[in-house]
Structure 1
């Protein structure tokens, strides 16, 4: 089947899918910002513990989410093929793998303080982090379940409800934080433990909302019916597709974590500027991540229909949309950098000017950083839609750790460029990944789908498109 639609139709379809996903990602970011802001007002020591704990939680969560993201292209393909049974089976096994990650991770979070101290963290900070993780760790199970449901609902094009459920969870998190951290509205004052309970509440609300919506709106997929029955074939398929996705995500998260360690060697002011720069670029990155998620879904649908023409036009459109967003954000970075960085700084902070100067310089680098980051994540989304995950995993590891981090180390620590040099290194790593992933998609993955489309056309007695 060959689908030739106007590019405006492709753009409309991508935006209808992608914009709610962008909003959902931004709402998810708001949860983390709310936690940090409220605990920061409660106490600096508790903020340090929270930062350490949420970093550890995020590493485990993002790795485990690979098994959730794996079902997006699978379900999109099965839906295009009209195979409802496989949709149910793949989703169930993704939930099984999420439960497995939780069971393996919970002991690590429960006894995290000794490990954190062994990594050089202050004893009190490590104990505070463990206090948080012993409560919030139970939220890993619903959090991973939410990721499975988001992938399931997104692949079936129910993205708007995913956005509203995430917004509801963000509001529940803010209210629970306000009550339990400070002891407002008659609630006990629990400090960092209160933030952990709020996180647990937020994940619980999200999971309940997603599960209820799926049950009501998609009754043709009885996910919980005979949930206990194993499905070895689909378990293996989801695992083999999801493990490289999780490891790819870890490679990128690890790159930014290692860059923070390098910048920390320059002192607290550069590290603060780095943190602010990442917050700003992370917010704009959500636009490209949402478009990449939409591209994954539509690539999966195209794979199910063996429709290379549709995918080629869709890919051109999503890259154009992403580049258009880059133009807008880069203009902001170049025209009003002081205003953007200043949002995160108190007017009477004695170190404001020093942080502002470094932050503005970082946003200049981010002008190039944004383009390559957008291209690599969209290319990655398209490849995932075609269920190509092992090659991109190797590309990510080599680009981020073989090029990006060494370049940041050389430019920042030995080239005299400091924090800006480390960001140049990040740009080099992401740029290499963008080039290699783009080549893999256009030169290998898409021609392979062309061949499948031609073979199908010939088998049906037609002429290959």
Structure 2
């Protein structure tokens, strides 16, 4: 009975963190969702060109998110152990890490169409892709700064501020898209570049608002998170790099899988690329909820580890996985039953030029319905592993599952059996299913191993 009470308390604690974080993640996905819809208003060609730009920028953002996830994981452990002076050091080094990531990534994004050309992408798409990338790139430092602050506030159990700002960001981005894309209120009509500039503006506004909110929040003020933000503390920065680098590489391994798949779609033509973008954007939108649960699970696992409550660590991971799998199963039913309705959100399916995209999109969405269940489980299992600072072995697992299992089987189905887009997506299902099983096993195995020893050595570097 007491165990059941603890389990219910953990569900409540996880949801208190997960709901605001998931809402924040969902609002971010809604912005990308709206961007994709507005690209579609300019036609399949613009949607295809925008897809290349969006997946490229998102890949860099995801890799950075993986690196900066160390900020939340380490801060959660420090918070759980009562080591409050460490928090401001973690926050300061998080900002230095943001700068270290921003400048080289901005340079790569600015010139990335040169790389896309080497991948055989159509010259019809590349000018549109370049216009998008060279406008949104200026928002990258603010986007990464926002992620750092979001991780800190989540580790301190204050995610609602993030949610409010993110939801407000949706309206800001939609209005910005409308004004800059179509040239309203005296602004020039910038087309797809206007979507990039609107995102850049929204990134900076959200970052500044969150910084101001943290500074004046009465619950966060006692931690003095912005004290000595200019100072470099090599030991803490090294800790973030040690934990964050495998996570960033793992995020890269998964994100690059979908990036390469998107580039292959571009080689197969506009229909494949546009249909893939519709299915991928839809799956990415629903994935934001498990991603929020994964962030919450990292924090809950880390806080319990900081308190040396190893039963709580195990319980936090289990609750997160169950919540994520339940939600994604519900979303799978919706994608399976209503694919045509979903496609109609992106394109006017009554137009003859969109019939081929509609047909392929419906099939891809049915595959995505299965794929996202396993994607949700593996994301939360990874989040739980980050909470116990286990990031190196999950990186190896990710490489094996996503590429050796997922991409290899998908490429075989696409090329050898002639299934093309559907074959690649089926390969992703197999890769993510394998990752979900192995990573979940890894978490519970590691917690069982920790239960047989003192957790003090894990906390020693945070003292």
**Structure-1-length-normalised TM-score:** 0.89
CA distance in 2, matches of 1:136, 1:146: 15
| 1:75 positional shift | 0.8
Hey, what does 2:451 align to over in structure 1? 450
Distance 1:191 1:320 in 2: 43
Q: CA deviation at 1:42?
A: 4.9
Change (3 A) 1:290 1:113: closer
Closer/same/farther in 2, CA of residues 138 and 418 from structure 1, 3 Å limit: closer
The answer to whether the Cα contact below 8 Å between 1:298 and 1:385 also exists between their aligned partners in 2 is yes
Using the alignment, how far apart are the partners of 1:353 and 1:193 within structure 2? 27
Contact 1:67 1:94 in 2 (8 A): no
Per-residue deviation, 1:22: 1.5
SS at match of 1:6: helix
Give yes or no for the alignment of 1:335 onto 2:321: no
Rounded Cα–Cα distance in structure 1 between residues aligned with 2:362 and 2:35: 26
- For 1:46-125, what aligned pairs fall within 5 Å after superposition? 47-121=47-121, 125=125
Alignment partners' CA distance in 2, 1:113 and 1:133:
9
CA deviation vs aligned residue, 1:226-250 (integer Å, no higher than 9, x gap): 2222100011110111111111111
Residue 287 of structure 1 corresponds to: 289
Give the equivalent residue in structure 1 for 2:232.
230
> Does the residue aligned with 1:346 lie in a helix, a strand or coil?
coil
Q: Take 1:271 and 1:224, find their aligned partners in 2: how far apart are those partners? A: 44
Report deviation, 1:363.
3.7
Specify the SS of the correspondent of 1:70.
helix
Q: By how many angstroms is 1:220 displaced?
A: 2.2
State the Cα distance separating 1:120 from its structure 2 match: 3.7
Partner of residue 214, structure 2:
214
SS in 2 for 1:205: helix
Q: Return closer, same or farther for 1:279/1:111 CA change in 2, 3 Å cut-off.
A: closer
Separation in structure 2 between the aligned mates of residue 172 and residue 110 of structure 1, nearest angstrom: 24
Is the Cα contact below 8 Å between 2:52 and 2:263 reproduced in 1? no
Aligned residue for 2:258, secondary structure, equals helix
What is the CA distance between 1:119 and its match in structure 2?
4.0
Q: Which residue of 2 aligns with 1:10?
A: 10
Per the alignment, in what secondary structure is the counterpart of residue 348 of structure 1? Answer: coil
Give the Cα separation in 2 of the matches to 1:125 and 1:302.
49
The whole-number CA distance in structure 2 between the counterparts of 1:334 and 1:53 is 28
For residues 165 and 451 of structure 2, the distance between their equivalents in structure 1, rounded to whole angstroms, comes to 38
How far apart in 2 are the matches of 1:125 and 1:318? 40
Q: Conserved in 1, the CA contact under 8 Å of 2:53 and 2:132?
A: yes
Deviations 1:24-80 (A, max 9, x none): 111111222333333444576655554333333222222222232111111111111
> How far did residue 266 of structure 1 move?
5.0
Instruction: Measure the CA separation in 2 of the matches of 1:271 and 1:131.
Output: 18
Secondary structure class of the residue paired with 2:221: coil
CA distance in 1, matches of 2:193, 2:345: 28
Match of 1:315 in 2: 317
Q: State the shift of 1:297 in Å.
A: 0.6
Match of 1:258 in 2: 260
RMSD: 2.6
Distance 2:58 2:334 in 1: 29
Of residues 153-162 and 257-266 in structure 1, the stretch that sits farther from structure 2 once superposed is: 257-266
CA distance in 2, matches of 1:361, 1:49: 22
Q: Distance in 1 between matches of 2:83 and 2:99?
A: 25
The equivalences for 1:268-307 within 5 A come to 268-307=270-309
Q: 2:460 — aligned with what? A: none
| 8 Å contact kept, 1:307–1:449 | no
Aligned mates of 2:122, 2:272 — CA distance in 1: 21
1:203 Cα offset (Å)? 0.6
Shift of 1:396: 0.5
Cα 1:273–1:105, aligned 2, differ >3 Å: closer, same or farther?
Answer: closer
Q: Which runs of structure 2 are paired with 1:380-395 in the superposition (5 Å)?
A: 380-395=382-397
- Mark the runs of 5 or more structure 1 residues left unpaired by the alignment: 457-465
CA contact (8 A) 1:109 1:130 kept: no
Residue 160 of structure 2 is aligned to residue 160 of structure 1 = yes
Distance 2:68 2:367 in 1: 33
Once the two structures are TM-superposed, the CA of residue 127 in structure 1 deviates from its matched residue by: 4.6
Over alpha carbons, which structure has the higher Rg?
1
Contact kept, 8 Å, 2:304 with 2:312, in 1: the verdict is yes
* TM superposition shift of 1:383: 0.3
Moved more, 299-308 or 314-323: 314-323
User: 1:35 maps to what in 2?
Assistant: 35
Q: Deviation at 1:417?
A: 3.8
The range that moved more, 314-323 or 109-118, is 109-118
Q: Deviations over 1:161-205 (max 9, x none)?
A: 111111122211222222222221223333344333212210111
Deviation string 1:235-278 (CA, Å, 9 cap, x unpaired) is 11101111111111111111112223444555443443332222
Contact 2:59 2:259 in 1 (8 A): no
Q: Does 1:413 align with 2:415?
A: yes
The gaps in structure 2 that reach 5 residues or longer are 458-463
In the TM superposition, residue 96 of structure 1 has moved relative to its aligned partner by 0.2
